[in-house]
């Protein structure tokens, strides 16, 4: 069993797509191990997106991710990291394959509905960041 961190980003919450997105993960057979709604602060955004902080698109990314609440979810299942990445599709939703969450429900490079950990190492770091009480449980 593997765990991964998914964020349902502000556009998913505002567009009322959280249920649709979670339904897809649950139908696939993944378990929701934990879930919480929170506001991402600029400080948390800079830690979570540390690899992007110096990129030209970062100021707009920070504005977007802090603009309204997000839903953080720990999903659990066989090869959860790779399976979830495949299910969400390419970062640029305009390029994402039909059948993926971004491919079916979004069109933008930035407002792409979901974030998912890209490796088991990132998953561990991101789970500890968004669910501090889960430390040492993974
Ligand atoms: P995510 O998978 O959460 O990882 C980094 C986020 O930055 C990405 O989804 C998008 O929301 C955003 N992003 C990545 N590349 C770009 C880009 N070229 N222009 C605008 N936003 C981007």
Q: What confidence tens digit (pLDDT) does each residue in 33-79 have?
A: 999 999 999 999 999 999 999 999 999 999 999 999 999 999 999 99
Strand, helix or coil for residue 31: strand
Q: Measured in angstroms, how far is the CA atom of residue 68 from the centroid of ligand 1?
A: 17
Rounded Cα distance between 24 and 17, Å, is: 11
Residue 136 lies in a domain: no
Instruction: Report the pLDDT value the prediction gives residue 28, as an integer from 0 to 100.
Output: 98
Q: What is the pTM of this model?
A: 0.95
Angle at 36 between CA 96 and CA 47, to 5 degrees: 70
Q: Are 117 and 12 in contact (CB under 8 A)?
A: no
CATH number of the structural domain spanning residue 97: 3.30.70.141
CB 91 less than 6 A from any atom of ligand 1:
yes
Residue 137 lies in a domain: no
Query: Whose structure tokens read 């789970």?
Result: 127
Instruction: Report the pLDDT value the prediction gives residue 25, as an integer from 0 to 100.
Output: 98
Catalytic residues: 115
Question: What's the pLDDT tens digit per position in 73-128?
Answer: 999 999 999 999 999 999 999 999 999 999 999 999 999 999 999 999 999 999 99
Question: What's the pLDDT tens digit per position in 6-40?
Answer: 999 999 999 999 999 999 999 999 999 999 999 99
Helices (H), the chain: 10-14, 18-28, 42-48, 58-65, 80-88, 101-105, 120-130
Instruction: Report the pLDDT value the prediction gives residue 135, as an integer from 0 to 100.
Output: 62
Instruction: Report the pLDDT value the prediction gives residue 137, as an integer from 0 to 100.
Output: 54
For a mutational test of ligand 1's pocket, the pick from 59, 70, 96, 112, i.e. the residue with the most ligand atoms closer than 8 A to its C-beta, is 112
Residue 47 lies in a domain: yes
Residue 77 lies in a domain: yes
Residue 122 lies in a domain: yes
Q: Measured in angstroms, how far is the CA atom of residue 58 from the centroid of ligand 1?
A: 8
Instruction: Print the domain residue range for 82.
Output: 2-130
Instruction: Report the pLDDT value the prediction gives residue 45, as an integer from 0 to 100.
Output: 98
Residue 112 lies in a domain: yes
């Amino acid at each position: 069993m593997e765990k991964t961190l998914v964020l349902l980003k502000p556009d998913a919450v505002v567009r009322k797509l959280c249920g649709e997105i979670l339904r897809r993960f649950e139908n696939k057979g993944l378990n929701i191990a934990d879930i919480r709604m929170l506001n991402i602060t600029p400080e948390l955004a800079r830690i979570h997106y540390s690899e992007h902080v110096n990129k030209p698109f970062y100021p707009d990314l920070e504005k977007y991710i802090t603009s309204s609440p997000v839903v953080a979810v720990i999903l659990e299942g066989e090869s959860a990291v790779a399976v979830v990445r495949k299910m969400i599709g390419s970062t640029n939703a305009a390029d994402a394959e039909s059948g993926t969450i971004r491919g079916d429900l979004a069109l933008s490079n930035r407002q792409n509905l979901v974030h998912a950990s890209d490796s088991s190492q990132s998953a561990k770091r991101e789970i500890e960041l968004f669910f501090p009480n889960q430390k040492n449980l993974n």
